[in-house]
Amino acid sequence: MKNLSIFLQKEDCDLSLCIDYANNVYDEINEMRRDSELKFKDLFVAAKEMAEKMSINLVPPRNIGVQKNRDNYEGSPEAYFRRSIFLPFLDHLSMQLKTRFIDHRELLSKIQNILPIKCSELNTKEISETVNTFAKEWPNDIKGSTDDFIAEITMWRRHCLNMSKDKRPKSFIDTLNTCDSTLYQSIHRFLQIGATLPVSVATSERSFSCLRRLKTYLRNKTGEERLNGLMLLNLYRDVEVTYDEIINIMAKVPRRLDLIL
């Protein structure tokens, strides 16, 4: 989960790679769920050793006849914490991964069919299924009828077959540079959609975090132009800004001090 979390925060995060890795995590969690007794045993031993160092006794809550706020789990402390904490956590995590990533895997596989590395291997049936999926999800982005789109993908497939295998683009952005927007209008549109599909909100949240660092309570009256400039400098640290440029910009503002001698 740590690697998936770090990968989701990348600016150039690829949606297909993210879903593939999330699917692997999903399968691993389900396997842990099936072997929960064996998997939780080691965790409980480590938690028990840590609790002993802190002088904490791992004792389950008492059982009562009528329970409204929590479930009664009978058995040893290990069995109680496994049923009340470990298993619900795995179920919740598995459900969130499925809702966020796994359920969109089929749609992603269809939009990836227009990439040259995959489009060259499509047959007539797969082309029709891809067009039907696009017509259902993005009906307003298809230029013309579905039959026109099928013909366009067929010609795009022929174009991909004429490429050498080692030069066929594998990503949406690289494919956009080789796709003519006049000859393949719908293909070009869906390549743009595939290249801009958001994987996470890390990039937008990163800008809000930068705003929080700059616009503090002590500097709440910072002007909009200065605030935007400071944010851009903080976000794009790879852009080199020379002192001469800063002095020339400040010198254009009327002031008593002559900055340019």
- For the stretch 194-246, pLDDT in tens is 887 766 655 656 666 666 666 665 566 667 777 777 777 777 778 888 888 87
Span 68-91, pLDDT tens digits = 666 666 778 888 888 888 888 999
Contact 41, 78 (CB under 8 A): yes
Number of domains in the chain: 3
pTM tops 0.85, yes or no: no
Both 134 and 185 in one domain: the answer is yes
Residue 74 belongs to domain spanning: 2-105
Span 114-131, pLDDT tens digits = 888 888 888 888 888 888
Q: Is the pLDDT of residue 155 over 90?
A: yes
**Rounded distance, CA 233 to CA 129, Å?**
47
Both 90 and 118 in one domain: the answer is no
Contact 172, 195 (CB under 8 A): yes
Residue 230 in any domain: the answer is yes
Q: Is the pLDDT of residue 96 over 80?
A: yes
Nearest to 95 by CA among 153, 155, 30, 156: 30
Residue 26 in any domain: the answer is yes
